[in-house]
Amino acid sequence: MANKKINVALLVGGTSPEREVSKATGKSVLEALRDLGYGVKVIDPAYGLNQPKDESKFFEVKNYSEISNRNQLEAINSTLLDDIDLIFLALHGVGGEDGTIQSMLEMRGLKYTGSKILSSALAMNKCMTKIMFQHFDVATPKWFIINKNENDYNLIRDKIKKFFGYPCVIKPNDSGSTIGLTICRGDVEVESAVKQALEFSSIALVEEYIAGRELTIAVLEQQALPVLEIKPMSGFYDYEHKYTTGKSEYIVPAVIPPKITEHLQHQALLAFNSVGCECYARIDFRLTKDYKSYCLEVNTLPGMTNLSLVPKMAAAAGISFEELIDRIIKNAL
């Protein structure tokens, strides 16, 4: 059992498009923290000083009151965190996972879970992540970026054909949960896909599509956990397949040759360290028919819901959900 004197502030919600996913993560983590005996205070920084008195309000889909980034500043700089030993970050997406909240907490001198400012910012920016991958010999699909002021779609189509052809993936450069992502099969889809991606980011990433299996690997304290394969029941592993029970099948450990498992785990550790992650993260891959692996991205604050992948991989390594949460806290302390 944890020391009762350790007070944890569980930060949930936030202002990103992944606000609802964050609430689901927070709900699971809260239960584990209570079971472990920590003192817990739930805070949604997006509400500022106007925090709900009723704890259940933090996890409702409908917002309890107005949310804003200014509120987040007020919440972090207020007395709400005065009696807190550690912040457990259950936030996802822009503002929670990109170094923003981390920098506020650093200014307050507060300890928090997960990666620090620079690694959070690097991992959230898919283009910068890929540049680091290339430097550290982590294989990644070919890509180029489109800025908000680029609207010559014929030029974009020509670049796609020149660099890798169709199908290709167009997605926001700094968003998660496959929000704003499109798999383009041809010229006709490019304009709408770029516009959709740019709704969620000032930069769109255009990436070579890798046909193959969807794999992911969690790293916990420099140990690569068993490889997990994701099999969506239809289409690809989009928002619906991620967060709807029964929409995807998860196989852990993945049924792949031992040498390939070893290679993937090595690549995951390389990716983890290439952006300077701390304690834990989840690294996503595609694996072709001839067992070539391509690293897609690093998630520094991966989901911790009942459908989330890191707890499944931890369980396959003999680590319970409570132990996983406890190790993340002890590492941060």
**Angle value at C-alpha 121, between 317 and 39, nearest 5 degrees:** 55
Catalytic residue among 248, 284, 286, 294: 284
On whether the CB atoms of residues 176 and 299 are closer than 8 A, the answer is yes
Catalytic residue list contains 3 = no
Residue 213's DSSP bridge partners are 287
Catalytic residue among 237, 239, 243, 250: 243
Catalytic residue list contains 64 = no
| N-terminal to C-terminal alpha carbon distance within the chain | 16
Catalytic residue among 19, 213, 282, 286: 282
Name the nearest CA neighbour of 120 among 156, 93, 143, 160: 93
Catalytic residue list contains 119 = no
Rounded Cα gap, residues 177 and 243, in angstroms = 9
Q: How far is CA 254 from CA 143, 212, 215, in A?
A: 27, 14, 8
Which two tokens mark 197?
Answer: 């991606």
Catalytic residue among 97, 229, 297, 326: 297
Query: Is 18 exposed, middle or buried, given 0-12, 13-18 or 19+ CB atoms closer than 10 A?
Result: buried
Catalytic residue list contains 50 = no
Catalytic residue list contains 284 = yes
Rg (CA), the chain: 20
Catalytic residue list contains 192 = no
Catalytic residue among 18, 44, 208, 238: 18
Which two tokens mark 167?
Answer: 């199908």
Catalytic residue list contains 70 = no
Catalytic residue list contains 177 = yes
Catalytic residue among 115, 274, 299, 308: 299
Catalytic residue among 16, 22, 71, 177: 177
Q: What positions carry a catalytic annotation?
A: 18, 177, 243, 282, 284, 297, 299, 303
